[in-house]
Structure 1
Amino acid sequence: MQKLESTSILNHVYDTQKFRKTGHELIDTLANYLEDVTTNKDQPVIPYTNPEEELEYWKQDFASNSDISDVFKNIINRSIHVHHPRNMGHQVAVPAPISALTGLISDLLSNGTGVYEMGIASNAIEKIITDFVSKKIGFTSNASGFLTSGGTLANLTALLASRKTKAPNDVWNNGTNEKLAILVSEEAHYCIDRAARIMGLGDEGIIKVPVNEYYKIDIKELEHSFSLAQSKGLHVIAVIGCACSTATGSYDNLKELANFATKHDIWFHVDGAHGAAVVFSNQYKHLINGIEHADSVAIDFHKMLMTPALNTALLFKNADDAYSTFAQKAQYLWESQNTREWYNSGKRTFECTKFMMSIKVYSILKTYGTEVFEENVDHLYKMARVFAKMLEDRTDFELFMTPEANIVNFRYIQSENGDLNTLNSNIRKRLLESGKFYIVQTTINDNLYLRTTLMNPLTTEQDLLELLEEINIIALTSH
């Protein structure tokens, strides 16, 4: 760690010439990194080390006199490379470089957007972005939304809005002894379960509805689950639709869920963190038919929409619902406590000091046009279908199900002892250690599957073929 004279430290911190020099060096480093990682297939996707080794490395670095330029390079070299075409693991965006540059502006200006004067440009841009997405969903001009830090916060906020609107009393101000509940697919993302527990619903209040053979929420089971909840004295406030589920990429039937919600006068929320990005695609938008009837929708820009994490839109069909959830006084922030201004986003979100996330999305759309999201989604979904066909055409692999999204589950099935779970787990481990490809695994019906999420527009059919060949080699040397 470099030492400076105490009297000169602050002068060094804000030295613009030093900033200019370091910044130029960093941009060159990042550009060289992008060029290498996107074109050199021999570059490892992930430089895997065990956690204790990695911790020890950074302890030593922290105690050393390493230059900050070297630190930047080491962070890059010792991290997973999401821009690598053979990174096919988690649902993480491959950020557009222009959006990353906009992030530098956000970090340097550090404009929290909770109060208008602290985020003048970003609050206005946020309204443009959320209005744009609301229109794509099919909401009217009465809709309103905001950006927040991830799908977990977005889904929690939506469920709090459902409680505010559909609970039999004012929980926000008066608390409650009422037993509240939500209905959700058993395949829903874990953050829905977590949000419900944060709200105090407990095990009984999280009603996980069985799925059908396509891993969509079973509409026939909804009525049974609802009636059973009522018989237990539970007050159901919401039903959540998955667009799409995390493990299999299955889209719930949103039209049927909307009808069900209307029939029982409960809130209808769509967790579209990953798959609602098809709202931008003419080819795949049919997968979310009915989303326009939702009371609220969450969409992550940091999944298929090329934006660095975290960056999530939460849209409400009725603008009043966006404001009423967190109605409270904060005299030092707002002149008026009860008015509803789009430009004071702190009245509607958990965050007060929220970074300028809207400008990252705005920069992509301004640079490449509104078609860029459609082209990206279409390509990723097409590649999933190409990969599924490859798997179907081979006898040494088993495709779990034809993908609706860009998530493909499969496993290697040529095993001498029949223990496919152990075999595929070992394959995944060997792939991780080699760094040649990055994929993950999931367990469905007690069977372990290899899981790919095709997020990178630079991934080619050849990359997918070579993944299967690499798995074949590993499997044959594992016997």
Structure 2
Amino acid sequence: MNDELFKKIYSPEEFEKNSLILLKQIKAHIQNTTSGKALKTLHWNEPEKELDFWKSFLENGENEDFFPEVIKRTTHTHHPKYVGHQVSAPAPITLLTAFASALLNNGMAVYEMGMAPSAIEKVVTDEICKKIGYESGFGGLLTSGGTLANLTALLSARKAKISNDIWNEGYSDPLGVMVCEQAHYCIDRAAKIMGLGEKGIIKVPAQDNFSMDTSVLEESYQNAITAGIKIFAIVGSAPSTATGAYDDLMTISKFAKEKGLWFHVDGAHGGAAIYSNKYEHLLNGISTSDSVVIDGHKMMLMPTITTALLFKNKIHAELTFSQRADYLLNDIEEDDWINSGKKTFECTKTMMCMHWYILFKLYGQEVFNQFVTRQYDLAKDFEKYLTENANFEMATSPMSNIVCFRFKEENYSNNQLNQINKNIRQELLEEGEFYLVQTKLNEKIFLRTSLMNPFTTSEHLNLLIAKIKKKGLEQLEFIKH
């Protein structure tokens, strides 16, 4: 057998040469995006054309052009005019933790396949539990995203609150989860994966600001009981994804305690506000929850994908899954933090804990206080600029860094305004200077911005307002003629 190919693949010299080239390209990318020198946040291409490009590149592209083309043809989250989806502009140091994790490749299912990351993960999750306000006996884990973390939390809730052995015997009675109608779709998805069905998702109506209307909790609960559904958990959104509205966690907590329900907080996006001296009040009541989800890749400056799932009582993390793989997992007397494969869907996962740890170590928790506070303050400034202009309508006053608004003009129907705002968004997408998304609330199409970038300023947002207004007025002229 000829080993020359493998010697080339694993050559330290080859690796050093390629990595130095890429690091220069990444350095230039960071400089050009964070400074705003790059003219666009994305270079829009039609899906089929993009697919054709990469099919052709596999056969005909130059090897050295691969990374430059990837950088050019992706959305630049580090650009201050990126105000789109809820993903962070990662702190550059986390490129290095991702780099080390990919090379070392410790899967972490059992301790000996991840000694350092297993210990680091416990340090990280314990620190977050303390910040939430859990007092003792807490524990947590890191997993691959908020959807998986919320599903895991609801499985823990079912295990804790339902006496029969559903894992092995299946359902004997219909079960349900209470959640606001404006909650992230992953709660619906989790409930359906668990076999609860549509009837097992008890949707609590939202208030005008799109947070849960806690005044109808009792009514929603009693309606479910009358329908023969046993409620075992209630979920508070912190905040909802579409509008960034925080549910009243304190009231939900009191209701959960009264009814003997598991209280879970989906803080995937805004749970990081526990670090903000100014905005931590939005999470009043979180310390009484049974479980909390917080994404590192949203408001904590980390790359996708890493999520913390925290438990008031760590035993729930350790008992959620009863499946055994005897060649991997053994009954031991030590605290089971050392075998993460028992607590997550993943048997193998990345060493994602390093992103959290390095930010804690290098910059301290103050970085999250400053970042969350800055972005939430910026949303309030953006609201002020929008409300000063008669051509804009707010969906609701922002509670976080998510702002939903739309171009409007009197004497035009909702359908016409919906189409105008869709057209504005598409034009902005194709131009590529700004990147934002849209959402539908109460049959109205709104432009939706998530202010995720620490370099976005009021100047950028005022420029965006001006561009949207100009495009909206052009759309009106087109309709008139």
Match of 2:27 among 15, 26, 31: 31
1:391 aligns with 2:391: no
Match of 1:191 among 174, 183, 186: 186
Counterpart in the other structure of 1:22: 18
1:62 aligns with 2:43: no
Gap change, CA 1:288 and 1:104, over 3 Å in 2 = same
Contact 1:331 1:337 in 2 (8 A): no
Match of 1:48 among 44, 48, 52: 44
**1: CA distance, partners of 2:333 / 2:86:** 39
1:425 aligns with 2:422: yes
Deviation at 1:286, TM superposition (A): 0.3
1:453 aligns with 2:450: yes
Counterpart in the other structure of 1:241: 236
1:217 aligns with 2:212: yes
Counterpart in the other structure of 2:319: 324
Structure 1 residue ranges, 4+ long, deviating more than 2 angstroms after superposition: 5-8, 337-340, 414-418, 476-479
**2: CA distance, partners of 1:169 / 1:336:** 23
Counterpart in the other structure of 2:284: 289
Structure 1 residue matching 2:350: 3-state secondary structure: coil
Structure 1 residue matching 2:234: 3-state secondary structure: strand
Match of 1:462 among 436, 459, 464: 459
Contact 2:32 2:38 in 1 (8 A): no
CA deviations 1:37-80 (Å, max 9, x no partner) are 1223452111110100000000000112511x310110000000
TM-score (norm 1): 0.97
Q: Which amino acid aligns with 1:223?
A: E
1:102 aligns with 2:102: no
Gap change, CA 1:338 and 1:153, over 3 Å in 2 = farther
1:118 aligns with 2:109: no
Deviation at 1:142, TM superposition (A): 0.7
**1: CA distance, partners of 2:37 / 2:21:** 25
Gap change, CA 1:190 and 1:15, over 3 Å in 2 = same
Taking the TM superposition and a 5 Å limit, the aligned residue runs for 1:105-254 are 105-254=100-249
Q: Which amino acid aligns with 2:431?
A: S
Unaligned runs of 5+ in 1: none
Deviation at 1:327, TM superposition (A): 2.2
**2: CA distance, partners of 1:344 / 1:322:** 12
Deviation at 1:329, TM superposition (A): 2.1
Q: Which amino acid aligns with 1:101?
A: L
Match of 1:9 among 5, 8, 26: 5
Structure 1 residue matching 2:383: 3-state secondary structure: helix
Unaligned runs of 5+ in 2: none
Moved more, 346-355 or 190-199: 346-355
Deviation at 1:214, TM superposition (A): 2.0
Q: Which amino acid aligns with 1:222?
A: L
Match of 1:359 among 347, 354, 357: 354
Contact 2:36 2:80 in 1 (8 A): no
Gap change, CA 1:428 and 1:277, over 3 Å in 2 = same
Deviation at 1:137, TM superposition (A): 0.3
Counterpart in the other structure of 1:279: 274
**1: CA distance, partners of 2:36 / 2:385:** 24
Q: Which amino acid aligns with 1:37?
A: T
Structure 2 residue matching 1:342: 3-state secondary structure: helix
Structure 2 residue matching 1:302: 3-state secondary structure: helix
TM-score (norm 2): 0.96
Moved more, 32-41 or 201-210: 32-41
Deviation at 1:219, TM superposition (A): 1.1
Pairwise CA RMSD of aligned residues? Answer: 1.4
